[in-house]
Chains A and B, each alone.
Chain A
């Protein structure tokens, strides 16, 4: 079955630095992969989608890469701010549904 692995430990970084989160998947080949942000007690919020034929996607301070050979996606937040503190979920597709990783907690300290 599909397996999605994200950084199991929380990532603590200083304000202004770049945060890099990793998502690895095994046992299938998604056509696209999405990243969501989730705050405590709330539903996930869509951030970015990258397709299998795209190497990189950017949106403001966010950047996502997708390496189908390594079966890995990297999610970068540049010039991080305390307001970026949240759980970030990786979600490759599986046909008509998404398969979510457990998420990585990001804490940005001022």
Chain B
């Protein structure tokens, strides 16, 4: 399978703990996006990278959230001091240089903060 992969698929943590998610985009896709989705809502943009450069972050993104894409391939999203309101599905997507508008999504990481 050469689609976008995300790990882990599910994560349960206690409030106050740190969590890290990984996303592996489709090979040769230079853009990578992170979204968050809560029940009954559409995905909400968090941040995106072009190669290793983080070019945009949502103004709604708390400073407890940080994302990296150190070698322009996989990306990690870390949430520090998790809160119950962080419980959501975290989606990663990637797009190619040729057709950057179309984003291909991974299966998501479902986070539950107790």
Contacts and interface: CB of A to CB of B under 8 A. Distances in A.
B101 A49 contact: yes
Given A43-B91, A44-B43, A89-B42, A98 B105 contact: no
A98 B105 CA distance: 12
Contacts of A43: 4, 91, 93, 105-108
B41 A102 contact: yes
The size class of the interface chain A forms with chain B is: 20 to 34
A28 interface: no
Contacts of B4: 43
Interface residues of B, number: 25
Contact of A44 (B56, B101, B105): B105
A110 interface: no
Interface string A28-39: 000010101000
B42 A34 contact: no
A46 B42 contact: no
B42 A4 contact: yes
Interface in B82-114: 91, 93, 100-108, 110
Contacts of A46: 102-104
B19 to A, nearest CB: 19
Interface of A: 4, 32, 34, 36, 41-46, 49, 89, 91, 93, 95-103
